[in-house]
Structure 1
Amino acid sequence: MTVLAARAESDRMTGRQRLVLTLLLGSQFMLAVDFSILNVALPVIGQGLGFALADLQWVATAFALAAAGFTLLFGRIADLWGRRRLFLVGMALLGLSSLVGGLATSPGVLLGARVAQGLATAVVTPAGLSLLTTSFAEGPLRARALGLNGALMSAGFTSGAILGGLLTQVLSWRWAFLINVPVALAVLVAAPMLLKESRPAERPRIDLPGAATVTAGLLALVFGLTRVGEHPVQGGVALVAGAALLVVFWFVERRSAAPLVPVAIMARPNVKWGNLAGLLAFATETSLVFVLTLYLQEVLGYSALATGLAFGVLGLGTVAGGVAGPRVLAALGTGRALAAGFAVQAVATASLALLGASAGWIWLLLAATFVGGVGNMVAIVAFMVTATSGLPDSEQGLATGLATMTQQVGITMGIPIMSAIATAAMGSVLQGVIVAVLANAALAFAGMLRPRSAIPN
């Protein structure tokens, strides 16, 4: 009885842990909202600042390049120089860049602000996640914290579209930037009182060759993914260059005395296969939102705001999946929970192939996206637990940096791939949507497959 009581006590959060969790989850939610909040507002921004139509994509691409390209580097820097310190620096940069973006009067200033916001995301996300994992011991508490984090991040991606539409329609697109400023200030005031600093007693030298090759490789890879659809040659060259640089990075790390990412960690089955599962989880669900946006606006004739509100049901599904995820993991084990989440997502996504051109099909879309959101979030919780398990606290920044990089690359690569599939199959918009939906479901199904020993059940 005493053992059971002690175990139950260890599974409860202290008051301080709840405050830490609230602070970190709030900051991660804000970053997720920031990723998608401008999508709905892009046409209005273009008219207000004089962007050429072809250049509007750079508002999103500039952010994605910085966020994905530098996240692994800053995740490791957080391990070496202090996670709380990097977290505070990143939040300050986010607040400042959001203020500049909200006051921008030219395309160049706005794009510079988006690059700075992407860099802030690359700093804050891995630092915040590593602070989260080191604040909760490996086990039920960490799984619960990561589940809530994943739920709020996915809800943030969806909420960003809704919030962006509301702010743009009611106030101005500038508030899609300015809304970050008071939130960042509140976090900067509260964080020093709640978060404890963590860093090693001895600081090894930073692996400059490794940092240069992996950052350049990721930048080229993300740039190629965003350009290959419209500019196949330019995008293809960038993809090849990115892949080559990442191969060079692997060999640099094998020979480095103080590697940025120790090869032994990247070779761990749970890290390797966990991140592959995460790549599929983020690539499929975020690109499905893009595909269904085409369906809602081009086939059913929904407005941008109505489209954003329709995706609120998906947001509810991801929140439900994040809350249920830790319980599913406890009941099934990590490996089976991962497979179950992808299975639910794949079946729900495949059912969307039945969509037709009449307004009544919206009910199938709402039901399927809710169920698929639950499954996707269970898979994401299992991915985060898998990718950060079995590693000491001194390497949690690295592990969460890898996981964050996986997340950002998955989000970036999914939309161009699904866009290319939909366009290639587009005898009509509905036909292209259905083919892309089936391809998306196939990728979700592929997420179920793994070597039996890679992720323990």
Structure 2
Amino acid sequence: MSPRAWGILLVLSGAIFLEGIDVAMMGVALPAIQSDLGMSTASLQWVVSAYVLGYGGFMLLGGRAADLLGRRRMFLFWLTVFLLFSGLGGFADSGWMLILSRFVTGLAAAFMTPAGLSIITTSFAEGPQRNKALLVYAGIAAAGFSLGLVVGGLLTAIHWRWVFFAPVILAALILVTAARLLPREERPARTSGFDVTGAVTITGAMLLLVTTVVRAPDVDVKWTVLTGVAGLLALSVFVAVERRSSSPLVRLGILRSAPLIRANIGAIAFSGSFVGFQFMLVQYLQHLRGWSALETGLAMIAIGIDAIVAPVLTPRLVARFGNTKVIATGFTAALGAYAFFLTVGTDTAYAVMLPAMLLLGMAFALAYGPLTIAATDGIDEAEQGLAGGLFNTSFQFGSALGLAVATAVNVAVTQSESPSDLLAGYKAAFVVSVVAAFLALLTTFGGLRSARR
């Protein structure tokens, strides 16, 4: 690749690094935020869920908007919105203000992320060059999440507000560099074909479905059923609209791609297992073990091995064994890591937990990048934004689902604040991650059979 191509790749990877580090730092800072703003555990979950709601609810719209309205334009505009509302979160003096800022930040990421991913997939030729670019992109994304755990602990030790201010500085640097490097596009010749009805119905459906998932642990069952049914109805209306539309927001034929479907189902299960596990592991280390935010971040840096493995080892494994086998190995590693944590006690030494954390870092390195390739491979250039939007929607919806189910199970099992009851609640939540990782592994079997044929 030319120096300019590397520059474009690194600045776009910087944006996904920003998104990853922002989410990871937030996870470590939650206990400090809860204490300072006096938020309940149920409302604290909304600091995470509001971001996922904005991200997952608008991702498909964001992906198609990138294809129709201009990828560079969408990327730069929504990166600016991300910057502004991350700063607003740093000034929040109440729970509702913080939750609002996280929702809009997630919405901005929903438009920014598929735009950046589709610029990569349309700038690099399909095959080894694009695979290399996507694996670098995925490796930097993983590095952002892993380093965010440590940086979040360091910044929280100063004050949790720096968890919001630090991304503002990084976003400003990326914005200035992207404006100079990203090639200008011709303004789309025709925008009247934008599927407004499809955009409204799919966004409404995703918002309702994500709301159903994230609110399930703390609302009455009837409200969960009501919003779930409403979401499915909106989704069915969307499908009917797309079948009749001359310029559909989502061409339903794209869903005939078996690798794309397997990649998205795998992403839902894998991200759900990881996010639910990470949230509960932080609670276990800080609430039960009494570790500080800094100690927690340093302990979880072992998961950051993915930042080294993903760009160095994963491309070689994909080239030799193929995407599907590498993904299956990653899911298997994740399953083993989660299963180990079912054995932890109230005084388990860190040295005993370290191998499982390293194994989980390996799992993320082996699964995330190849999943990204599988989700966009073979898709027409005009629909790369849509494919990226579908993949990121699946990842965020899975995150919301995993977090909600793990939280619900934890609350149901924990009977008191005694160490034994708290431990039982955390172990029950870890079971959710084990099950989700096993379901992710099941999705790869069809791909393995196809590879053998």
**Does TM-score exceed 0.5, indicating one fold?**
yes
Question: 2:402 corresponds to which letter in structure 1?
Answer: G
Paired residues of 1:322 and 1:381 also in contact (CA < 8 A):
no
CA distance in 2, matches of 1:168, 1:161: 11
1:203-230 deviations in Å (ceiling 9; x for gaps): 4611112111111111111111111112
The yes-or-no answer on 1:261 pairing with 2:254 is: no
Cα shift at 1:89: 0.1
CA distance in 2, matches of 1:112, 1:349: 33
Specify which of 435, 438, 441 is matched with residue 434 of structure 2: 441
CA distance in 2, matches of 1:408, 1:396: 18
Question: 2:437 corresponds to which letter in structure 1?
Answer: A
Q: How many matched pairs? A: 443
Which stretch has the larger CA shift, 193-202 or 345-354?
A: 193-202
- Gapped runs of 5+ residues in structure 2? 415-419
Cα shift at 1:453: 5.7
Cα separation, partners in 2 of 1:157 and 1:80, compared to 1, 3 Å: same
Which stretch has the larger CA shift, 193-202 or 383-392?
A: 193-202
- Gapped runs of 5+ residues in structure 1? 1-12
1:2-42 deviations in Å (ceiling 9; x for gaps): xxxxxxxxxxx221121112111111111112223233434
CA distance in 1, matches of 2:135, 2:301: 19
User: Secondary structure of 2:442's match?
Assistant: coil
Cα shift at 1:348: 2.7
The yes-or-no answer on 1:317 pairing with 2:306 is: yes
Paired residues of 2:276 and 2:406 also in contact (CA < 8 A):
yes
Cα separation, partners in 2 of 1:238 and 1:297, compared to 1, 3 Å: same
1:169-188 correspondence to structure 2 within 5 Å? 169-170=157-158, 172-188=159-175
Specify which of 155, 176, 179 is matched with residue 189 of structure 1: 176
Paired residues of 2:7 and 2:181 also in contact (CA < 8 A):
yes
CA distance in 2, matches of 1:323, 1:201: 42
CA distance in 2, matches of 1:15, 1:187: 17
Cα separation, partners in 2 of 1:101 and 1:372, compared to 1, 3 Å: closer
- What's the counterpart of residue 43 of structure 2? 55
- What's the counterpart of residue 446 of structure 2? 452
1:12-411 correspondence to structure 2 within 5 Å? 13-45=1-33, 54-170=42-158, 172-198=159-185, 202-203=190-191, 205-233=193-221, 234-317=223-306, 319-360=308-349, 362-411=350-399
* Alpha-carbon RMSD: 2.4
Paired residues of 2:146 and 2:307 also in contact (CA < 8 A):
no
Cα shift at 1:80: 0.7
Cα shift at 1:108: 4.7
Cα shift at 1:52: 6.2
1:228-256 deviations in Å (ceiling 9; x for gaps): 11214233322232222222222221221
- What's the counterpart of residue 423 of structure 2? 430
Which stretch has the larger CA shift, 82-91 or 368-377?
A: 368-377
Identical pairs, percent? 37
Cα shift at 1:122: 1.0
Cα shift at 1:456: 4.7
Cα shift at 1:54: 4.9
Question: 1:99 corresponds to which letter in structure 2?
Answer: G
User: Secondary structure of 1:420's match?
Assistant: helix
Question: 2:446 corresponds to which letter in structure 1?
Answer: R
Cα separation, partners in 2 of 1:322 and 1:434, compared to 1, 3 Å: farther
CA distance in 2, matches of 1:231, 1:412: 16
CA distance in 2, matches of 1:49, 1:435: 29
